[in-house]
Structure formats: C-alpha cells, structure tokens
Structure 1
C-alpha cells in the first residue's frame, strides 16, 4: 500500500534502525567465551591430554557448547532490554504519528475477526472483540469443539448475534492451523484482512481501526499487536501475570525495529535494509492481509503455526512488524498445570519448527545472518532448562565419576546462573521502574524462582520425547480451574518431585555439588503453587463473578453490554 516515492507518507513510516543489538551481543559473547575457552583448555583439556586419554576430552568440549548457549541466551535477554529502553520512546512517537493520521474515505477494506475455539469458548471475550469502532468488520467463529456444552453455547451465541458467521471443522485435523485453513482455504471469501483471536482474547475497541492505519501507511503483510495479561481472577494468575506485560513489548519492539525491510516485486524479493532480528507473529492479536496469506498459501501444519507462518511470509518477501500502541488483553494461564502444559507445548513445538525449517533458514538469502542467529536463540530459549540439566549431569556426575578434571564447580555454574536469572533481572528492573515496592518485588522473585525452577522435569521430558522424534501435539491450554487438594497436587507432580530429589542426591553423593540445591529445591516444593489458584480475594471473586455474568449476557439476544477490554 505504501508508495516509497511519496514523501508525505514516508514521514509516517514505522521507526526502524540499523542492526545494533545482535552485533553487540556477539561481541560481548565472544569476549566471554574466549576467557572460558582459555580456562577450560588450561584446567581441563591439558591435564586430560597429559594423562594420554584423548577420548575424555570430548566431554568438556561438548559441555562448552552448552556453556556458550547459556551465555548467548543470557546476554541476549539483558542487551535486548537495554536496547528497548533506548528506543521505546521513538517507537511510541512513530506509531502515534501514524495512528493520528486519517485513511482515505474511499478506502474501506473488509476485516474478519477469526475466533478459534476448541472446547474453550468464552462468550464475553468474543462479544467484546466484536465491539469495534470500524464498521466493516465481520466476526467468524471457527469451531473445532467436541464437548456438547461448548457446542450449544456457541449455537446460542450465534442466535444472539446473527451477524456472526459460524464455521465448524468436523474433521478436526491439524489443530489450530487446520481450523484456520478449513475456512480460509475453502470456498470464496470477500475479506481484505483478517485478525486471529484466541478464545480468551479481548481487543480494544479501536483495534481494527488502528491496525488498518498501520497497514495503509506501511508496506507490511502481517502486524502483531501488543498484549497485556489481564482478566486475572485468582491468586496464581495475579501473582505471575506481570512477567508477560514486560516480555511482550521488550522482546517484540526491538525485533520489529531491527527487523529490516523487504521489497517484494514481481521479479522476486530484495532486501531494502538488512535486518538484525526477526519479528514474528504470535498466533493471536495479529492482523494479516489477504495478499500475504494467499501468497503463503495456507497456515503451515505445525504446532507452532504462528512461528512457521512468519518464516513462510518472510521468505516470500512480506514484512512483519509489531505495534506497541495497539492492545489486546489475554488471560494468564489459570493455574500451574495450565502453565506447564503451555510450556511443554512450546518446547516440543520449537523442536518441530527447528527440524522443519532449519535447512531453509540457513540457505535463505532473504533472512540475514543476524536474523538467523536471533531466530536460533529464540527457538532454543524454551528447551534451555533441558540443556541446563544435561550440562549439570556432565559436570556434576559423569566427569567426577570418570575423574575428568574441570574448571571449579562455581565457575561452571556461572553461565547457567546468567541464563537462568537474565529474564528475572529484566523483570526486576522494570518492576522497580514501575513503582513496585522492594519487599513485594523480593517476594515476587522468590515465588517466580520456585515456580519456574520446578519446570525442569517437564522441559527435560518434552525435549527427550522431541529428540526421539515423537510428534509435537497441539494441546489447548485449560481455561477453567478446578479445586486442587494437597494430595491431588502431589499426585500431579510426583514425577517432577522424584526427579529433583534424585538429581540432588546424585550430585551431592558423587561430586559434593551442594549448589544444585539452587536449581532443584524448587522442584521439590514448587508443586505447592498448584493450590494457589484455589485462593481468591474478595475483589478477585467479584471479578470472576463479573466475567461470568458478562458471558451469560453475551448469550442473550438483544443484549449489547460488553466487558471493558482493560478488565
């Protein structure tokens, strides 16, 4: 849509800059790794070679691959946050300048809101999303549900909202991607853009209007919008939801700004400005143009269909950008079990993506070297806990048993700590900046360490299954919390508890590595957070009741009342 020769329009182009943060990361990372490699060579490799046991050299060298990865991911989290602090005001100013503009009166594209659901329909969420200031908007429910309760609920909603289309996928294949393709790739449609909604999605009322301005004044095919974690109605959700409010803008603003610009022409794709990072769409709260989707052909059949779609679009020459000033609202996972299911899905999905796309990404001339490195880091950031565990086994069990000399245990622990606490450090800085009291912050950090520290088992399990070529499976994150007793919590997490206890005993008995307590004590007690979702303050109970009442009202014909998207 954007004419590059039009100077008036170019003034309102989204802010972007030359690659900065990835080169800085690489410089810092290479400096640290040179130091580590020198010490590993002098303290480990030389003594091994002196004993004339060259095969044992493999273990410390293999472990250095993990050390390198831990430092790379840890440094990335810190540098990307610093970069965000440097550019966020310019990005906001650039976006607000575009949003203040008007689009031509004769430009009136049709936008469809595609609400995907599988036994998790939330009436109040869809009712609110439909309440847009832009009038040429069509709601479409894409339903894969098998539960009669949700099927009836959806039928009642369509009766109450006759302008909403309902499309059911009776075959229910390929999860979310199959649900979307069943509609988009079959029949004739008259949309110009579509928005993908998850079942708990809330959009601000000007969402569509704002997105269209971004498309009109920028040469983009996909626009991912910002999210806040709201609708939190129990103690677990309230405690841990704030991390997402930091992660979304920090990560995505930098990747959007440094994503470069592609020029798509009839003859092919040229790189207008080299990208230093890769901006991706995240599966919901995203608008995609019809031209972009039809050029891709379909949503790739993968668990991480959003990440795969982003690569397909980029390889085809379409620009993907992030809008920090256009908001959606999504609920944080309702309990610990839901959060672990989501983490497990992300882990297996990223391995599936890596297997399917690594060769194409490496060979691509559209994606720059810096973008490939950034994508590599992003893909491996989820299974990092499994890699940390492998490194722990090497340094604290295998090497001591074989009497292989290593650098001091504390020295080997440092890269793991840098990686583990890097995101926590970013959260700490932003929480303090936003006015969180120190004691509240301290309590939050301790709770986060205990919660996420108990995810080792599920991540290791997902990684092992992925490496054994077990297909990734799309599992819908549960949206409803059931009362969990102490015995139920132990029964749900006994494997993780035993896994942590065994690791602690083995490390202390074999190498005297008491520092493993830092990593695996959470796995012994983290299951207690399973019951935290049982507790609601009076305000949270009132909010839960309020949201339920809005769902009931959304099923009533003639009712126009909707929940405030900020709730």
Structure 2
C-alpha cells in the first residue's frame, strides 16, 4: 500500500516538478523566489497526503483479512475486568452496559471527579449493583493514563477492557473481544465503533463522517498497517501493559501505548465485528475543546514518543502508518503558512502560470479526503452536499486553534487533557470569540485579502470568522438559522474559486469575473442553505 503511495507521489513529482521549479526559478528577486518556492514545496506535501488519502481509501474497498479467533469456550475461561474512567461525566447507562456483560467480570469505576454530584452518583451506582468497585486517588496526576495505571496495578485480572463514559457496549462485547487474543503477541484488541443516536443536529450531521472513517480507514490496518489503540472500546493484555511500563502519562496515552508495546513484540488487532457506540461532540464548543486536546496530544506525542518508535524494531510499513496520520494534524500550521504565502503572491503582483495538469493534480489531492464520503453517501445527494458544506466550515474553522496550540507545545508549553463536554454547553458567542481571538483576527485578515484577490482565500477567511458563531448551531433562534445558512458560504466560495481558476487556465476569463461577483455577493451560499 505504501509502495503505491510513494510511487505515485514520486511519479507526480517527476511529471510536474520541473514545471514548478522552473516557475520558482523564473521569479525576480529573493523574496519572490522564496515565496513561490515555499508554495511549490507546500503543494508537494499536499500532494503526498492527497495521494495517501486516495490509496488508503481504495485499499479500504479491497477484501479484508479476518484475524484468527478463539472459540467462545476458550474466551469464557479468560480472567478479565472492565475499567470505566470518569471525570465529572459519569453515565449510569454506560456503567449498566459494563455490568451487564455476559462474561464474568468486575466493573472498576476509576472516579477522578471533583464535583460532588458525580461522586455521589458513582457511589449510588456502586451500591446498587454487585461486582462493582470504585477506585479513587488523591490527585489527577497523569490524567486518564494516571488513573488507569493506578487502578491496574491493584487489579489481578489478566485482561482489562477500557470503556469511556459516552460509550455504549453490547452484552457480548467483552467475550467477543477476548476471542481475538488467539496469539500470545496480541497486546490489545480495538473494537469497531458507530456513533450513538443523538438528539443534537450538530452531532447527527457530522457524526456520519466518523462512521465512514471507522469503516474505511481501520479494518485494513490488520493486513496493511499498524493497528491503533484509540483509548476506549478496547481490551488490553495486562502482560503487555507491564512490558510497556504502564500507559505513558501523556495526553495521547493511547497511541503512545500502542507504539510502546510494539517495541516489545506485541501488536494490536482491530475487531471489525465487535461494534461499540460512541458520542460525537454535541455542539461546536465540545468539538473545539476536543480539537484542542488532539492538537496538544498529537504534538506532545511527536516530540516525546515518535522518534523512539521510529528507532524501534517495527517494520517500515508500521512506522509509516503511524507517522502519516500523526503528522497530518500539525499540517494545519503549514496550511496557515501556505495561506500567507498565497497572500504574498497577490501582494507582490506575481503571475504564476501553471499548466492544466498541475492544477488538476492539486485539485484532485485537495478533494481526496472527501472521496469516501462521495462513495458512501452517493445515494443521498442532498445529505452529502449538506455534510460537505458544513464539514468544510467546521473543520476549516478549527485550523487556527490547532496552530496556536501546536506552537505553544513546541515552545515548551504543557499539554493539557481537555475533557470533551458530554452535553450541549450554553456558551455565548462573545465568550467563544474571547477565547479564540487568533481565529477571529486570522479570519478578518484572510477575508480582506480574499475580497481583493482570491475566492478560495475568502472561503478560508469566512470559515474562521464563523467559528465563534458556530456554537449557536443547535439553538432555535433567528441568529442560529442565519449561522446555519452562512455555514454554506466557505464551500461555495471554494468551489467558485476552484472552478473559476481552472477555467481561467483555459482562457475563459469572463466566467471568472461572473463567478467572483456571485461568490462575493454571498447569494449562492444563502440560497444553497435553503435546500
């Protein structure tokens, strides 16, 4: 699979590289050459990730491997426990799912809650059921990883399941997952997931993307790559935990644990047929908090753990399969730098005359992340278009937040475990604007440049400006309805800009002018919102 990725990327560089280098070399002056050179290098990186997305998704449709499994009788005799970490977010229903397992297992609630109402709820649950124990500690040192390590060293079971408070598991979850420990080198079994039924219109709309990710990106890792431990809905072999020295006490303890046990000869297995339910963030505020955690945790992992894994005895393919996704999130920093470089191109009055092939290659890789959505949602075109429009606005708006957090960590700041709110938050737009000023300032700057020069830049800038208002998405008010309409504008501007630029390459300048006027008026976005 990675042979295809690297071969196709190398081919694209050989085909279009001389053209790009020739344009960069033709620039007069150091500043112009540097700006265009940076653009060329950035596009090459975007091509690499675009090809990666395309190849991974194509391989996702190939026949899948079926890992070996033990019999139900063999799994029945395995000693296992269930661990439910909670921090001011205890769910009675999730805890009941853990108790209702057909496998004879004790539920340990690892309660780090600081709010009295949750501590009392945990105690009430423990008193209502047999085989339930509550484990508390004096501090939250190490966050979730610290809570798990503190509990596991006191538990005698050979295997333990980790379940999150927003997770729903079936009665047969534990026993079915244990069947995948058919080989002594299996260190953990990661279950499949779907999003739970949720009332929030934000979660209902965007949660579909997570379902498709689980279906297309995860199963083939058993055959072609590195199986990730995703921190919940999984069963761990205690011996592997011991060999790794416990869970690394960092924000991304799940990924760090998976790579550390690989150094000791263990591996993970993805159990496609063992399906759990998980919540998608209820609103934009919850998603923003989760993205802060991901940005900090991924950057911390890259600094503290990735070099160690790259030196380990894991295969080259496994190392690539970890490096590609973890380096993807910090690319938002490159994305903002790329926007600044595009702005500089217009400001310096530079003319870049790329060929239709070069432009087509760039657009294809730009669209690659949505390939699986186009295929899986092809029979629901209206839902697909709405999903793509809102996803464009939401995910693009998170880029400045990610960049700010990444820079903080790179400068020596501490990563912090941001708990994702499990229910809709009543945060006001003014509050959200105060906590994300970098996003708002970036939105003003990029939008002004886009108004003057370039519709795709206006698409990005409008998404940044929408960020604080997106917390109104689930509410019923006139302002909320306008936010849901305006969320279509980034994709509208992007498509008009891409089509307009493409046609200008073929000499259709009149269409470019018309597209620019339509995009700037915003009428297209508002009309699409009525669909």
Q: What residue in structure 1 maps to residue 50 of structure 2?
A: 74
Matched residues in 2 for 1:282 and 1:301: separation?
15
Higher relative contact order (CA 8 A, sep 6+): 1
Segments of 5+ residues of structure 1 without an aligned counterpart are 1-20, 259-276, 537-567
Segments of 5+ residues of structure 2 without an aligned counterpart are 478-531
Q: Mark the CA change 1:174 to 1:413 in structure 2 (over 3 Å): closer, same or farther.
A: farther
* Alpha-carbon contact 1:44-1:404 (below 8 Å) kept: no
Task: Name which of 27, 38, 41 aligns with 2:21.
Answer: 41
Q: What residue in structure 2 maps to residue 145 of structure 1?
A: 113
Match of 1:120, SS state, is: coil
Q: What residue in structure 2 maps to residue 192 of structure 1?
A: 158
Matched residues in 1 for 2:362 and 2:248: separation?
34
CA deviations over 1:312-369 (Å, ceiling 9, x no partner) = 01111101111110011111111101111111211121111111123323322x2222
Q: Mark the CA change 1:157 to 1:86 in structure 2 (over 3 Å): closer, same or farther.
A: same
Matched residues in 1 for 2:99 and 2:10: separation?
50
Q: What residue in structure 2 maps to residue 23 of structure 1?
A: 3
* Alpha-carbon contact 1:66-1:391 (below 8 Å) kept: yes
Q: Mark the CA change 1:233 to 1:176 in structure 2 (over 3 Å): closer, same or farther.
A: same
Where do 1:429-468 residues align within 5 Å? 429-432=375-378, 435=379, 437-468=380-411
Q: Does 2:462 align with 1:521?
A: yes
Q: Mark the CA change 1:336 to 1:141 in structure 2 (over 3 Å): closer, same or farther.
A: same
Match of 1:215, SS state, is: coil
Q: Does 2:273 align with 1:325?
A: yes
Q: What residue in structure 2 maps to residue 539 of structure 1?
A: none
Shift of 1:282: 0.5
Q: Mark the CA change 1:198 to 1:413 in structure 2 (over 3 Å): closer, same or farther.
A: farther
CA deviations over 1:171-221 (Å, ceiling 9, x no partner) = 211111111111123x4x320101111111111111111111111367411
Q: What residue in structure 2 maps to residue 549 of structure 1?
A: none
Give the stretch that moved more between structures: 121-130 or 494-503: 494-503
Matched residues in 1 for 2:455 and 2:463: separation?
14
Q: Does 2:258 align with 1:310?
A: yes
Task: Name which of 79, 103, 114 aligns with 2:73.
Answer: 103
Q: What residue in structure 1 maps to residue 63 of structure 2?
A: 87
Match of 2:262, SS state, is: helix
Matched residues in 2 for 1:524 and 1:417: separation?
24
Where do 1:123-202 residues align within 5 Å? 123-135=92-104, 137-185=105-153, 187=154, 189-202=155-168
Matched residues in 1 for 2:339 and 2:360: separation?
12
Shift of 1:515: 2.5
Q: Does 2:324 align with 1:377?
A: yes
Q: Mark the CA change 1:236 to 1:77 in structure 2 (over 3 Å): closer, same or farther.
A: same
Q: Mark the CA change 1:202 to 1:70 in structure 2 (over 3 Å): closer, same or farther.
A: same
TM-score where L is the length of structure 2:
0.83
Shift of 1:489: 5.8
Matched residues in 1 for 2:91 and 2:395: separation?
28
Q: What residue in structure 2 maps to residue 334 of structure 1?
A: 282
CA deviations over 1:352-407 (Å, ceiling 9, x no partner) = 1111123323322x22223222222111222332221111212322x555677755
Matched residues in 2 for 1:521 and 1:473: separation?
29
Q: Mark the CA change 1:496 to 1:328 in structure 2 (over 3 Å): closer, same or farther.
A: same
Q: Does 2:358 align with 1:389?
A: no
Q: Mark the CA change 1:158 to 1:526 in structure 2 (over 3 Å): closer, same or farther.
A: same
Q: Mark the CA change 1:308 to 1:38 in structure 2 (over 3 Å): closer, same or farther.
A: same
Shift of 1:491: 5.5
Shift of 1:288: 0.8
Give the stretch that moved more between structures: 55-64 or 65-74: 55-64
Q: Mark the CA change 1:382 to 1:449 in structure 2 (over 3 Å): closer, same or farther.
A: same
* Alpha-carbon contact 1:237-1:334 (below 8 Å) kept: yes
* Alpha-carbon contact 1:453-1:526 (below 8 Å) kept: no
Match of 2:114, SS state, is: coil
Shift of 1:237: 1.2
Please provide the CA RMSD for this pair.
2.7
CA deviations over 1:406-464 (Å, ceiling 9, x no partner) = 555999987775555322221121122xx4x2122212211211222221221221222
Q: What residue in structure 2 maps to residue 113 of structure 1?
A: 82
Task: Name which of 474, 490, 500 aligns with 1:533.
Answer: 474
Where do 1:199-218 residues align within 5 Å? 199-216=165-182
Match of 1:253, SS state, is: coil
Match of 2:221, SS state, is: helix
